[in-house]
Structure 1
């Protein structure tokens, strides 16, 4: 069913929804941006439509709701442990199509990767109903069309913000009841069909080409450019890397809690192993690992899509202005060089 509601009407509906649901959406935090007197847009609970940022891409993705930057996994003593508690309230999340596709990519990592299911992600994921925010124009770092992530049909509700009103398309009958008194409207969401940036993802045909690509000198420039801060992966809508830390309570040295915290493959030391061995010692090696994971390894394993959804947040957040699309284009050129040398 389709409806048209004013912000005032929508806020009354929000009040009713809050009796059952927690509502998350991109929200502006004034003065908390990267630079002095700048804002940041990230996901948080919202109570009114006016709090939702419709006209900007959020600096950080919706994944922060399902996989918080820091969360307690369990508490322990010397002879037992207890899993951390979790709210049972359903969640409504306002998400753009790229973030919806990113959530599905994450599900393959957390829910059934090699037969293992992550309890902590699962218990959040199963509570979610998606409110898709129509996205028809994109921004200057977006390339979702190239990644096939510009559309999403598996939503409970879709919304368009237009002149102080919300146009709503409802697929979930449970949510339809909240709009029973709203005027009907003929609305189906539109999708962006062309980004400012277009990306041709190169195909790596075999292991030999992959090995030569890993050794290609194109990666060396990132030893000078990348500062290994990890901003790109924290802002990424599909990255799933984390580290765990045991916090021992000072009052009782045999009791504490284990926390999971978002981490980054781009930070020096992330790949360190016991015994002092490390896999990736330079910024170039870490950049190569990230890019190949997003644009080759994930698809090679799961046989469907590349991991990247083209949201462009990594480019927007990089303090050194490293463009992921420019990097992939350089990788494509390197593959062409390798293939040409093999044919000769």
Structure 2
């Protein structure tokens, strides 16, 4: 059922949500950009609809809400282990279609990949998702070609409608709240992008043989292994473990799960001094094929959702969409070499 809200009405909804949930949305952070006179759009807790940035793509994804950069799993002493407390409140996350599709990818990895991750599950099961309609594509987006431009598996949707806000509700528990605060019922269909300036094509017949291509050598010099592409990506899930020992008692501490990056030097270091994928081109190959080959082989669809944040964030102007499009020539190169 759809509803039309005035500003005070939708804010009354947010105020009621805040009793049970933390509400997160893209928010403009003035003066917090890469340079002193620029802003940053990132996911932050909000209280009012005026705080939501409807017209710009967030520079960072929602991912930190479901997968905190640093998450304490348990505390330990010489004799005891105590599980860290879970969240006391749930979360409502306002996000775009590509990011909602990213949630499905995270669920595949943490809930349906042969096991259920306990810490992810206890946080995830108390989260509700509100779709932000996209009336136009943003720079570097290629969601249409990745088939993530539309989503109907949301709890509610919201977007501007004249001086008000149009909401489509799929979650029955919210129905009375919306009825009590809306101006009227109306048919609502969330806006979605139908074309993007950036286009990509994952070649048919892609296989691991493409790893033999010379295309990866280019990134040995261009990539500086900063990992920014991984940290802004809504589907990157790599992490490492850290044991933190307290200074007042070195036998007491906590274990944390900490976000990691497959593009950063040292990620593949192993016990005994071994290290794999030491060249940046090898790391780029690993990341790329994970996004558009092996994830699909396992789950039936691509890991990449085409949000374009990796292109936005790269300080060396490396375009992931261009890398995908280069795969066609790389496949032909490898095939020609094998025939000879």
Task: Give the TM bin, normalised by the shorter chain.
Answer: over 0.9
Residue in structure 1 matched with residue 72 of structure 2 by the alignment:
72
2 CA distance for matches of 1:343 and 1:249?
Answer: 61
Instruction: Report if aligned partners of 2:213, 2:333 keep a CA contact under 8 Å in 1.
Output: no
Instruction: Report if aligned partners of 1:70, 1:259 keep a CA contact under 8 Å in 2.
Output: yes
Deviation at 1:342, TM superposition (A): 4.6
Deviation at 1:225, TM superposition (A): 0.6
2 CA distance for matches of 1:23 and 1:30?
Answer: 20
What per-residue deviation string (whole Å, max 9, x for no partner) do you get for residues 279-306 of structure 1?
111111111110111010111122x101
Deviation at 1:341, TM superposition (A): 4.7
In the TM superposition, 1:146-161 aligns within 5 A as 146-161=145-160
Residue in structure 2 matched with residue 168 of structure 1 by the alignment:
167
In the TM superposition, 1:1-344 aligns within 5 A as 1-114=1-114, 116-181=115-180, 182=182, 183-206=184-207, 210-211=208-209, 213-302=210-299, 304-342=300-338
1 CA distance for matches of 2:336 and 2:271?
Answer: 41
1 CA distance for matches of 2:244 and 2:206?
Answer: 46
What per-residue deviation string (whole Å, max 9, x for no partner) do you get for residues 208-256 of structure 1?
xx23x21211111111110000000000010000111111011111100
2 CA distance for matches of 1:17 and 1:112?
Answer: 29
Deviation at 1:204, TM superposition (A): 3.7
User: Gapped runs of 5+ residues in structure 2?
Assistant: none
Deviation at 1:120, TM superposition (A): 1.1
* Secondary structure in structure 1 of the residue aligned to 2:167: strand
Instruction: Report if aligned partners of 1:147, 1:309 keep a CA contact under 8 Å in 2.
Output: yes
Deviation at 1:203, TM superposition (A): 3.1
Deviation at 1:308, TM superposition (A): 0.3
Instruction: Report if aligned partners of 1:75, 1:84 keep a CA contact under 8 Å in 2.
Output: yes
User: Gapped runs of 5+ residues in structure 1?
Assistant: none
1 CA distance for matches of 2:283 and 2:333?
Answer: 22
1 CA distance for matches of 2:26 and 2:69?
Answer: 16
1 CA distance for matches of 2:224 and 2:117?
Answer: 32
Instruction: Report if aligned partners of 2:241, 2:257 keep a CA contact under 8 Å in 1.
Output: yes
Instruction: Report if aligned partners of 1:3, 1:179 keep a CA contact under 8 Å in 2.
Output: yes
Instruction: Report if aligned partners of 1:88, 1:127 keep a CA contact under 8 Å in 2.
Output: no
1 CA distance for matches of 2:332 and 2:93?
Answer: 42
1 CA distance for matches of 2:212 and 2:332?
Answer: 14
Instruction: Report if aligned partners of 2:29, 2:41 keep a CA contact under 8 Å in 1.
Output: yes
Deviation at 1:78, TM superposition (A): 1.0
Instruction: Report if aligned partners of 2:227, 2:263 keep a CA contact under 8 Å in 1.
Output: yes
What per-residue deviation string (whole Å, max 9, x for no partner) do you get for residues 262-287 of structure 1?
11000011011001111111111111
What per-residue deviation string (whole Å, max 9, x for no partner) do you get for residues 17-72 of structure 1?
21222211111222121222211111121000011111011111111111111111
* Shift in alpha-carbon separation, 1:170–1:117, aligned structure 2, 3 A: same
Higher mean C-alpha deviation, range 226-235 or range 165-174: 165-174
Higher mean C-alpha deviation, range 35-44 or range 283-292: 35-44
Instruction: Report if aligned partners of 2:212, 2:334 keep a CA contact under 8 Å in 1.
Output: no
2 CA distance for matches of 1:311 and 1:225?
Answer: 22
TM-score, with structure 1 as normaliser = 0.95
* Secondary structure in structure 1 of the residue aligned to 2:305: coil
* Secondary structure in structure 1 of the residue aligned to 2:303: coil
Instruction: Report if aligned partners of 1:29, 1:41 keep a CA contact under 8 Å in 2.
Output: yes
What per-residue deviation string (whole Å, max 9, x for no partner) do you get for residues 95-122 of structure 1?
11101110110111111322x2111111
Give the total of aligned pairs.
338
* Secondary structure in structure 1 of the residue aligned to 2:251: coil
* Secondary structure in structure 2 of the residue aligned to 1:113: coil
* Secondary structure in structure 1 of the residue aligned to 2:235: coil
